[in-house]
Structure formats: structure tokens, C-alpha cells
Amino acid sequence: TQLLEQSPQFLSIQEGENLTVYCNSSSVFSSLQWYRQEPGEGPVLLVTVVTGGEVKKLKRLTFQFGDARKDSSLHITAAQPGDTGLYLCAGSTSGTYKYIFGTGTRLKVLA
């Protein structure tokens, strides 16, 4: 069974701090996505990475796909209260039509 583990599970930080969230698996993924979910809403896609070693930036968010395509990280610079939410990674292996979602990291940024 494919499993995507995220760490940490919970993170509470002060506004302005930096943080990194990790997504790890023993499986090789053809692509990996990151989503943010706010309370009462569905997850919203932030980014898709497909190439090993790929780095993508979205304003203060930096996403990296591991060289072996088994892991990924999300780094947030100067976190703001609006970054609060549940961050989910999701990976797809070749030949499948569905993405497996990670266990999630619940981030709270305090003003």
C-alpha cells in the first residue's frame, strides 16, 4: 500500500517565522501536488511538480520535488496568519488515475 507521510503533523508558529513541511514515501511518483485546505472548505491546488529535483516558487512558498521523486518539501518564508490551514501533499504513480493524499500538516500562524 502506498503511503505518503507528512511531517510535522502539527505546527504552530509566530508570524514572520520560516517553516518547512515534508512529504515522504517509499514509492516513486510520476507527479506530486500540494494543496491547502481551510476550515469548512475543500483542498485547493497550490502546485504540481513532475520532474525530480524540480523547484517551484509561489510568492513566499517554495516547493521542491526530491531527485528520486519519492519525497517533497514545502518551505514558507515569513509566514502570515493567512497561511493557516491544512497542507496536503498528493502523489500519483505511473499508470494510475488517482492521487494518494498524505496525512497532512496542520499549520497555525499566530499574529
Binding site for another protein (CB under 8 A): 31, 33, 35, 40-45, 48, 50, 88, 90, 92, 96-104
Min CB(66)–another protein separation in Å: 19
Whether residue 90 contacts residue 101, with contact meaning beta carbons closer than 8 Å, is answered with yes
Instruction: Compute the distance between CA of residue 39 and CA of residue 42 in angstroms, rounded to an integer.
Output: 8
Instruction: Compute the distance between CA of residue 31 and CA of residue 93 in angstroms, rounded to an integer.
Output: 7
If the CB atoms of residues 17 and 41 are measured against another protein, the closer one turns out to be 41
Min CB(102)–another protein separation in Å: 7
Min CB(6)–another protein separation in Å: 9
Place of cell 516558487: 57
